[in-house]
Amino acid sequence: MKMSKNTNNKKTGHQILEGSRAIALTIKNIGVQVVSAYPITPQTHIVEDLAQFKADGQANYEYARAESEFAAASIVLGASAAGVRAYSATSSQGLLLMTEVLYNISGLRLPVVMTCANRSISSPINIWNDHADVMAIRDSGWLQFFAENHQEAVYAHLLAYKVAEQIGLPAIVNVDGFILTHSYEPVSIPDKKLIKKYLPDYKPAKGTFLDPKNPVTLGALFGPDSYTGVRKDLYQDFQTSLSLIKKEYALLKKIFKIKNNSDGLIEYTGPKKPKTILITMGSLAGTIKTVLTQYPNVGLIKIMTLRPFPEQELIKATASGSNIIILEKAVSPGSGGPLTLEIKAALSGQKKNIKNYIVGLGGKNISEKEIRDIIEKAEQKNKNLIFQK
């Protein structure tokens, strides 16, 4: 049986939507002015829907077809440099092909927003979900948000534009490929009027974009004496964005009546002083929450913002825990799990039993039984990398 594109529930305002459709509808309602992307599984449905909205006369953005992801990234760079709100989407190898341009976008301080439908990286060829793609560009100077479900993905795009356009940094919203992009869930899509209460029309400051009436140079040559200062400014603005994300997420919760225990950087679920704490990102948090109903003394920290890294929030949230278990969908060969490396650095000097589990690579299913087994072994002192069988 083929499911319809959407099913409405007038009483609750929710629709049963594919994750990609929910994202596309949100981008349309945000009022972007330029969209450019190249199709790649599992991102394709997002850009197909955006192209269809344009073809059907439901949207007035410029939809620029590109011959590659490198070209798509270059197009949205140019659009943003011209002072308009721009959007793209990609996945896996496509994200890697964009890499050179991603560094340019952040260095030019352009508030482009992009969706990454997270997928494994070849070779061997694999089209299913893990976080290897976005981990490969985590130092490219982009804000990075992760969504657990469809509704979080909708709100994350609103937050991404709000923060990006205030501080002059690009942003990636990460959604687990297939798990979120191709599944159907109840989701509420804010209309344009409500979105404008939170996210007004984009009006870049004079001198931050290309304008014949006010000539400026973007991306000039910087020598050794000045280059470090520019990179320092970028770093400091990322640190500043920590408080900005908290502020804007609090406003987001108020306007859209979001009820959760999150500050926009992390979300904590569980008892006040857990001895064992699990940490993860993305859709895996939903499975863990189901398992934790059987373990009332175990907590879960879901990282919602990877860049900037929420170091102080993690220190505070793990204060009572002696067993810290990190479940992540990526590995840094020759080192360890990339998320674990950052958490260990944040918690250095504290007596914690930190364990790193590499799970879900290439879309491998992560069962509730596997999570229960991990919890049962929480107090073991083995700190080595443990790969899912």
- pLDDT at residue 5 in the model: 56
- Encode pLDDT of 41-69 as tens digits: 999 999 999 999 999 999 999 999 999 99
* Cα 383 → chain centroid: 28
> In this structure, what are the phi and psi dihedrals at residue 201, rounded to the nearest 5 degrees?
-55, 145
User: What's residue 95's pLDDT?
Assistant: 98
Asked if the bond preceding 183 is cis, omega within 30° of 0, the reply is no
**C-alpha–C-alpha distance, residues 142 and 136, integer Å:** 12
- Residue 228 pLDDT > 60: yes
Alpha-carbon gap, residue 335 to 356, rounded angstroms: 12
The enclosing H or E element of 313 equals: helix 311-317
pLDDT (0 to 100) of residue 10: 54
pLDDT value of position 382: 74
pTM of the model: 0.96
Low-confidence winner among 5-14, 235-244, 348-357, 359-368 (lowest mean pLDDT): 5-14
Condensed to tens digits (0 to 9), the pLDDT of residues 301-317 reads 999 999 999 999 999 99
Which burial class, exposed, middle or buried, applies to 90 when counting CB atoms under 10 A from its CB (0-12, 13-18, 19+)?
Answer: buried
23: closest CA among 93, 128, 96, 113? Answer: 113
Q: State the pLDDT at residue 3.
A: 41
Domains recognised in the chain with CATH numbers: 6-198 (3.40.50.970), 266-387 (3.40.50.920)
- pLDDT of 2 > 50? The answer is no
Helix axes 284-292, 368-376, angle to 10 degrees: 60
Which residues, 6+ apart, have CB-to-CB distance to 160 below 8 Å?
113, 143, 145, 171, 172, 173
Number of Cβ atoms within 10 Å of the Cβ of 209: 17
pLDDT tens digits, 171-188:
999 999 999 999 999 999
> Mind listing the pLDDT tens digit for each residue in 245-264?
999 999 999 999 999 999 99
